[in-house]
Structure 1
Amino acid sequence: MNRLIFKIALIAFVVSGLTSCLDGDNGNIPTDVGDSPILQMTWNPNEGTNLNAGLNYFNSQALTFPITDDADTTSFAVTLQGPNTLGSDISVTAVVKMDAKGDNYANDSIEYLPMPDDAYDFLVSTSTIKAGDRTGEFQIIFHPNKLDPTLSYILPVTATNASDLPLSSNYGIVYFHVIGNPIAGTFSWDYIRYNDQTKTGASSGFTEESTTFAPVSPTSIKVPTGYYVQPNYLITFKNTDGVLSDFKAVIAPDEIKAAFTDNNIEVVSGPTITVNEDYTRFEINYVVFNGSAYRNLTDIYYK
């Protein structure tokens, strides 16, 4: 069984003394409680500093597990916000809030389906925030192979508590979601690098590695290139009643500066993309100049 475990990092600002406003966001505190303690949701699979909860971080709450996986486990948390901890334990229960499934429609125009019951299980659904502490942890297991990768699903998760503490209005829901995309999924991956512009010099690379076409939207995905720090391509296309066309590939615009520009790497031609008729083979080629030499680069993804 292919099992990918994501671990939550409970970063310092969550577990140490906090002010009543998170990062200066007064909207995080309900106006009727002032400086009183509140609870908020936190999901942090990549050990960064984002909350990854609420609509402000909706895109960061996308699940990108390989669609062939039988079981993938992730952790999330409920944290106590406010100037002080409490003198008694708080029992907190994670619950599904499916009436929130359309909350992000104004932003992405995607009509998410409720995630089927057999596609997830709560391993830990009740937690205790101990007196003097700030965090209660939960675990949920997802079953990607139970989902149709062409459809979009959502599982909004919030929390209730036995102490009637209010929940943050801005960060009170984790919107676990999967964006359906007809080319999403796991692909085999070959990469070839020629040390010149015309594919006549020495070459290197790898074959038969594995990577994932991770949906950004129903008609776009990201997938890494093999070159240098491996920024993602952004592949876009049109979908006309299931017929895909007008494929385009670029180095992801939000990644090219840090990956290439800041390292004096210039894309001098491409990327160009070639796709076979049944969308099971994608070949992308581009040429860069790294300040001293040209590199001709090809990534091939196939099933």
Structure 2
Amino acid sequence: MKKHTINLWLSVVVLVIVSFTSCVKDVNKGTIVDGLQPTVSILEGGLVNFSQLALSYPSTDPSDTFYFHANYAATNVAPKDITVTLAYDAAALASYNATSSVKYTKCPDSIYSFKATTVTIKAGQSYSSLIPMVFFPSKIDPTQNYMLPISITDAQGNNISGNFGTIYFHFIGNPIAGAYNEEWIRFNNAAGSGSPSYDRFYSNVFSANNPTEVSVQSGGNGLVFIIDFTNNGGVLSNFTATIDPASYGNAGLGSLISGPTIVADPINKIYTINFSYTNTSGAGRNVTEIFKK
């Protein structure tokens, strides 16, 4: 996540540099206006970055930290030290819920720590130092939708961005998300006959992509499975499993022969995936993945 945060920040920095080379971008109207008052924003914020702020940490982690920045957008760098004040924004949460089919509740105080309520953009700089937001994954209920919008509340007289003044930290709840025990069984033939060549056990996590989809990376071969289902008032059905093609190289998967199929038992929280394939050397393989809560 830290690497992801830095990559997101760098991409926004490039955009900011391009946008403000000769004038200031009015982020509220989307137009370029010469002489506009300097604007302070959160580089990683805004609804445009919402999907990238769906946090998914291993539930066994005692704590994880997400870093973000405050940005001074103008034709020049900050002429003096600028203190930026940040706080939880209940109005931003209510506004999001009013227009979204997925509803969120505020993150319980027990699952996060945010102590850097002020940060300084130093004179001669255009962005602040790293701002830490600490989460406690082991205390998070993965079945609940949580959000923690953090907004700039004061920028010492400078404009506060209308589009990038808030960063939307959130956790997507999903009824099958959370920690699982994984059994990985592989046969060195496509039929799955005889004794397995491997039968190994791992700890794993179903990470929510949305309320009816999770992804999980096999501990045995690195393939990423995407599990979709229907939730009809708490009754789960129509389970399907696919393999993310981008992860084929992790297992040396050349092409699928059959599957993946999934047998789902949401009552007992057991999910069994089976598939067969040829590897990049042309040899057949048959794999069964059993995930149990």
Q: Provide TM-score, normalisation by structure 2.
A: 0.81
- Other-structure match for 2:163: 170
Contact 1:195-1:202 within 8 A present in 2 as well: no
Question: Are 1:191 and 2:184 counterparts?
Answer: yes
Question: Are 1:300 and 2:290 counterparts?
Answer: yes
Question: Are 1:14 and 2:13 counterparts?
Answer: yes
CA gap 1:92/1:68 in 2 versus in 1, 3 angstroms: same
Q: Which runs of 5+ in 2 are unaligned?
A: none
CA gap 1:300/1:28 in 2 versus in 1, 3 angstroms: farther
- Other-structure match for 1:58: 50
SS of structure 2 residue aligned to 1:91: strand
Deviations 1:259-287 (A, max 9, x none): 449x8822221111122353422111111
Question: Which residue identity does 2:201 align to in structure 1?
Answer: E
Q: Residues of 2 paired with 1:102 and 1:205: CA distance? A: 50
Q: State which of 266, 269, 272 in structure 2 corresponds to 1:283.
A: 272
Question: Are 1:91 and 2:92 counterparts?
Answer: no
CA gap 1:35/1:280 in 2 versus in 1, 3 angstroms: farther
Deviation at 1:102, TM superposition (A): 4.5
SS of structure 2 residue aligned to 1:19: helix
CA gap 1:103/1:171 in 2 versus in 1, 3 angstroms: same
- Other-structure match for 2:39: 38
Q: Residues of 2 paired with 1:104 and 1:205: CA distance? A: 48
Q: Residues of 1 paired with 2:140 and 2:188: CA distance? A: 42
Q: Residues of 2 paired with 1:109 and 1:33: CA distance? A: 35
Q: Residues of 1 paired with 2:14 and 2:48: CA distance? A: 22
Q: Residues of 2 paired with 1:246 and 1:296: CA distance? A: 24
- Other-structure match for 1:114: 106
Question: Which residue identity does 1:40 align to in structure 2?
Answer: S
SS of structure 1 residue aligned to 2:190: coil
Q: Residues of 1 paired with 2:12 and 2:160: CA distance? A: 18
Matched residues, percent identical? 35
> CA RMSD for the aligned pairs?
3.3
Contact 2:186-2:199 within 8 A present in 1 as well: no
Q: Residues of 2 paired with 1:32 and 1:12: CA distance? A: 20
- Other-structure match for 2:67: 75
Q: Residues of 1 paired with 2:162 and 2:223: CA distance? A: 35
Question: Which residue identity does 1:191 align to in structure 2?
Answer: W
Q: Residues of 2 paired with 1:206 and 1:166: CA distance? A: 60
Question: Which residue identity does 2:273 align to in structure 1?
Answer: I
Contact 1:126-1:138 within 8 A present in 2 as well: no
Deviations 1:47-96 (A, max 9, x none): xxxx4x22122111112123454433222211223442122111112211
Deviation at 1:237, TM superposition (A): 1.5
Q: Which runs of 5+ in 1 are unaligned?
A: 43-50
Aligned length: 282
Deviations 1:161-210 (A, max 9, x none): 44222233332221111111111111122223322201237855563322
Question: Which residue identity does 2:173 align to in structure 1?
Answer: G
Question: Are 1:265 and 2:265 counterparts?
Answer: no
SS of structure 2 residue aligned to 1:190: strand
Deviations 1:229-271 (A, max 9, x none): x34211112223323222111124xxx2x3449x882222111
Q: State which of 194, 200, 210 in structure 1 corresponds to 2:193.
A: 200
Question: Which residue identity does 2:272 align to in structure 1?
Answer: E
